[in-house]
Amino acid sequence: MTHEELEDAVPLYAVGALDRVERQAMEAHLLSGCVSCHTALKEYQSVAVFVPFGLNLTAPPRVLKAKIMAARTPSVGEPTAQPPAQPSLEPGEWMNHLFPPGTTPRARSLGWALGLGAIAVLAIGGYLAWTFSMRIAEDSTKLARLQAQADAAGSKLVALQQQLSERERSLTQIREDLQRRASDMADLKDQLIQREAELEDAKLQLAQRAGQRTSAPQDELAALLRIPNVTAISLAGTDMAKQAAGLLLYDSRTQKVWFYSVNLPESPNGTTYQLWAIHEKPVSIGMFHMDGGITAHLLVKQLPAFTGAKKFAVSLEPPGGRSQPTGPLYLVSHS
């Protein structure tokens, strides 16, 4: 048989379907060491193992056993049939010729080598596991140390935040105390200014009751000009009173305003003169009358918002004055 024919017969040999001559030829070919046939035989044998599991079992007829037994029992006088010659090798027994069941020295050395290799693998695996566990332990220790440091830093931060909150509360209380004291000082200052104004009025009333003659406006003007931090603003007469003039003095310490007017006409029909401080809108400073035969008049008022005024004027208004200038202007300051 050629190699191609033997190669085609490998599947039949794997399932034991070859006759004696073909089987002996196949086994001789396999014993010669054909690698491709050996490989094909292993693949077909691995498949042939599962072939019986795919067959349906069918029960044999009851008379089959009796027929088989009757056929094998020789009759009297017939020669006994010689048993057929046993095949040289049963299917698959050629492997025993290739790999005898007995243990050879080579197999023993291979077992020792495999055992030593397994021990070496186990030793290397154990060493790697021990090294890995040691690294994990070191990392755990470092992590615990870092966690402790982070906890300590967090505690310090909390303490610092508490101290900062306490200091902020203290600063807030101090600021509130300062604002309260500043408000008290402002109230006291206003009360002092009011008391000074009341004292000046009381002095004037006492002087009038005692029949004493007050000093001339010129003398009072000279005395006021000698006071430090006094601001002086002059007012000139308009076409209504070209000969009139006025002088406004402001003391920033007492926040008082003194206004001297000269040569203003008499206030007719019960009208009154009204002094205005003009910034964004006119603000009344005070009112005064000019009777017949009087050429000068002094007006003293308290004016805390004097520094915001840009211009001053005197107008003639109806009795009681007005919230805005409605009458003609008699005196106007220079811008």
pLDDT, tens only, 291-328 = 877 777 777 777 766 667 788 999 999 988 888 899 99
Asked whether residue 80 is assigned to any structural domain, the reply reads no
Same domain, 236 and 177: no
Looking at the predicted structure, is the pLDDT value of residue 209 above 70?
no
**Residue-wise pLDDT tens digits, 119-166:** 888 888 888 888 888 889 888 899 999 999 999 999 999 999 999 999
Asked whether residue 184 is assigned to any structural domain, the reply reads yes
Same domain, 93 and 118: no
pLDDT band at 5 (very low <50, low <70, confident <90, very high): confident
What pLDDT does 237 receive?
A: 92
10: number of Cβ within 10 Å: 23
Same domain, 210 and 223: no
CA distance 35 to 155: 78
How many separate domains does the chain show?
A: 3
Asked whether residue 228 is assigned to any structural domain, the reply reads yes
Chain-centre distance for alpha carbon 123:
52
Region 224-240: mean pLDDT is: 81
Asked whether residue 230 is assigned to any structural domain, the reply reads yes
Which residue from 278, 250, 260, 277 is spatially nearest to 193, judged by alpha carbons?
A: 250
Under DSSP, is residue 60 helix (H, G, I), strand (E, B) or coil? coil
Asked whether residue 82 is assigned to any structural domain, the reply reads no
Looking at the predicted structure, is the pLDDT value of residue 264 above 50?
yes
Where among 63, 80, 101 does a domain terminate?
Answer: 101
What pLDDT does 149 receive?
A: 92
Region 58-63: mean pLDDT is: 75
CA distance 57 to 54: 10
Instruction: Tell me the residue range of the domain where 113 lies.
Output: 104-214
Q: Which two tokens stand for residue 187?
A: 């109230």
* pLDDT above 70 as % of the chain: 74
Chain-centre distance for alpha carbon 152:
24
Region 255-273: mean pLDDT is: 86
Looking at the predicted structure, is the pLDDT value of residue 87 above 70?
no
What pLDDT does 306 receive?
A: 65
Asked whether residue 78 is assigned to any structural domain, the reply reads no
> Do residues 49 and 43 lie in contact, with contact meaning Cβ atoms separated by under 8 Å?
no
Same domain, 67 and 22: yes
What pLDDT does 236 receive?
A: 93
Same domain, 127 and 172: yes
Asked whether residue 77 is assigned to any structural domain, the reply reads no
Looking at the predicted structure, is the pLDDT value of residue 284 above 60?
yes
Token pair 């211009």: residue: 311
What pLDDT does 314 receive?
A: 94
Asked whether residue 137 is assigned to any structural domain, the reply reads yes
Burial class (CB in 10 A: 0-12, 13-18, 19+), 119: exposed
Same domain, 248 and 209: no
CA distance 285 to 283: 6
What pLDDT does 12 receive?
A: 83
Region 97-122: mean pLDDT is: 64
What pLDDT does 183 receive?
A: 86
Looking at the predicted structure, is the pLDDT value of residue 33 above 70?
yes
What average pLDDT is seen over the chain?
Answer: 78
